[in-house]
């Protein structure tokens, strides 16, 4: 799927939230996520560590759902700018969560061809 200007803006939001919260000293908050709802609103999150921890995607989707959102358009996760701002593909647990809560969401990922956009259905086939 074609990457649009609004997708690049979403990546910037994810970079901004992790740049603001990256804690190099304690090695906390290394990933930021941004999700755009179908109404255009953007919610962000950073990852939290514990035994199981929580990915940034969970925090972003959780913030959106807490605010009453149910319809999601696009999500992206990224490392901080100081670590190169590399986009991270969603882990298996996040893919499972996105299929359940955002079954028609698009996911921005970095490949050898640059930034590409896939549906969660493509990233989590045969679920």
Residues noted as catalytic: 57
Q: Which stretch binds Zn ion (CB under 5 A): 11-19, 25-33, 79-87, 90-98?
A: 90-98
Binding mask 48-67 for Zn ion (x = CB under 5 A): -------x------------
We find the least distance from the C-beta atom of residue 94 to Zn ion, in angstroms, to be 3
Selected binder of Zn ion within 20, 83, 91, 122 (CB under 5 A): 91
- Give the shortest CB-101-to-Zn ion separation in angstroms: 13
The answer to whether the beta carbons of residues 78 and 85 sit under 8 Å apart is: yes
Q: Which is nearer to Zn ion, 11 or 123 (CB)?
A: 123
Residue nearest to Zn ion (CB): 55
Q: What Rg do the C-alpha atoms of the chain give, in angstroms?
A: 13
Q: Please choose, out of 16-24, 33-41, 94-102, 105-113, the segment that lies near Zn ion by the rule CB under 5 A.
A: 94-102
Q: What is the 3-state secondary structure (H, E, C) of the chain?
A: CCCCHHHHHHHHHHHHHHHHHCECCCCECCEEEEEEECCCCEEEEECECCCCCECHHHHHHHHHHHCCCCCEEEEEEEECHHHCCCECCCCHHHHHHHHHHCCCCEEEEEECCEEEEEEHHHHCCCC
Residue 55 or 87 with smaller CB distance to Zn ion: 55
Interface with Zn ion (CB under 5 A) = 55, 91, 94
């Amino acid at each position: 799927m074609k990457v649009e200007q609004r997708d690049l803006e979403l990546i910037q939001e994810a970079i901004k939230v992790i740049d603001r919260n990256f804690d190099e000293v304690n090695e906390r908050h290394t990933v930021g996520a941004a999700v755009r709802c179908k109404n255009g609103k953007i919610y962000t999150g950073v990852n939290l560590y514990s035994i199981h921890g929580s990915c940034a995607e969970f925090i972003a989707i959780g913030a959106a759902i807490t605010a009453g959102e149910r319809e999601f358009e696009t999500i992206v996760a990224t490392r901080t700018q100081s670590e190169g701002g590399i986009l991270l593909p969603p882990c298996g647990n996040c893919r499972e969560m996105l299929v359940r809560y955002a079954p028609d969401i698009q996911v921005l990922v970095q490949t050898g061809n640059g930034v590409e956009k896939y549906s969660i259905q493509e990233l989590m086939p045969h679920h």
